[in-house]
Structure 1
Amino acid sequence: MKLVHQPVDDGVSRLLYKLRKFNVCDNARLRRLRAADLKDRDALLLLLCDDCGELQYSTVSQLIETSGTAGCPLCTRRFHENWGLPSLVATFTAHHLNYLGDDRMPRRTDPVPAECRLCGALRKISLHRLSTGAPPCLQCSDHSPDLSGPYWVYQYHFPHLGLRKVGITCARGSRRFTDHERQGGRALRRILVTDRMAALRVEATGLATIAEHCNKFVDPKDFPQGGWTEVWRDSGPELRLRSIADSIGVAVL
């Protein structure tokens, strides 16, 4: 049997404070959790959580084990689904990274896969390190991407996946193109524009024109080089990148 820490008398009040969100259903009546309820570790309690309003069964040992976290497993799951993961994704996006991890909220210190939105490089980094000043991308020079230099807007075809892709990359190197071609991509066209913001405008306008053909169910494993969020079925049209740039007033170099 798994050993669970049994709180001593001087720790019971602290434990009750951590579990203050729970009410006990006792003979069809609700009451606050008491110290006496914690004496039998195998006792099964019917609890009502003040935060989520859900009834749930839990043993005293399970309550003790979870007292260091949210305490309520339903609250924990909803936190991860409704705030934790979206907040993490937003933080990564603010640092020019695409989050490529699982749909479950990782621990703050767990390294998770990510893709640089500027150069396409892949890396693993934790939310903690990202939030405490670690460089988002190790490939972008001086740990900070050149947002003002020229950028490519490009289009590739992946025949074996039945997909086309549009993307942007800094004009300093050709690594992004090499990565796509190594994964079976065939270059269709590309244009050079003045800076990253101009490139993003062309990319976003292009994706908007073929939205009905966008494939929302691409497995990231099919795109180990990253960039799987900007693809569409090859039954859809190619993007005329130069015409798109002209239509929104973006100068092509």
Structure 2
Amino acid sequence: MDPVAIKCRNCGHEHVELPGRLAAELSGHWCLCPICNNRNKGICASDVVIGFSSHGLLVAEPESGTDTVQAARCARCETPKRISMRRLNRGAVPCYVCDGAADPSSPHRVYLFHFPRWHAYKVGITNSGNDSRLDRHRLAGGQLVELIEVPHRGAAFWVEQEVLSAMLPWPATGLPTDRAISGWTEMWDDSAPINVRLGDYIEAANAITIDRELVEDWKRNRSTPVLPPSDVVLNGGDAVCFTGSGPEKSRAEWKALAQGVGLRVAGSVTSTTSALVAPRAGSPNTKVAVALSMGVPVISYEDFLAAMEALE
């Protein structure tokens, strides 16, 4: 309970706070900064744009208020999302297409990678069902430094934010930011004098309780997946998997078309699958859930047809 100095990442305001109050305040406020809180309660809504963008969401017409439900959309797949800043701060899933395949109440992992050629460290979250995200970082030259498991997504989100807050004065620069490498906002320069140890956060993370409303929200939203427009590019020899029924043709005919242009047809989704082809609307199934959790693109039959024509 010794007081510490805190600097706001949005406006630069500095004030003193008790560590024991941080988690409780963050769960119910726009942020810990009294200046931003007061401004957000008034007529100015610019902080809403900043806060939503930090979660990968875009707000075209923001309204002030921590509890105001904003009309947002995912910056990655354009899927619409209606949610308040308070619920985002409490660990809500920003996008159920890009991030929401894993049950938020299930165990999640927090990882720490070092990228020597980028001179940067990166912290991130993944569910315990697969290692596809870790594999992608390794392929990019990353070296896994530490990996911990916490009881749910809310706890994992808390650990990630704690680490990023501590490393805020040493942001990543150079190649990650120049090329807008995915996830560079969760990176920091490896010259930082602080040595991050994820294990130091486990005890506090295990004491965090998950908001049951967030779990119920996940259950409701995952039952109606929305497939975003796809720009997936397929190459000869890529593996594709099918689920559901495609228009005008049987499943066997769609598979034959894929094989006719040099694609491999897989019976199940794995980390080596280039795309899962699914109906644009309909009830979810295991293949869709697995693909989304592993980061495998899920495209409609119409988009798949366009990708095959480009391949030819």
TM range (shorter): 0.3 to 0.5
- What TM-score, normalized by structure 1, do the two folds share? 0.45
TM-score normalised by L of structure 2 = 0.38
- Structure having greater relative contact order (Cα 8 Å, sep ≥ 6): 2
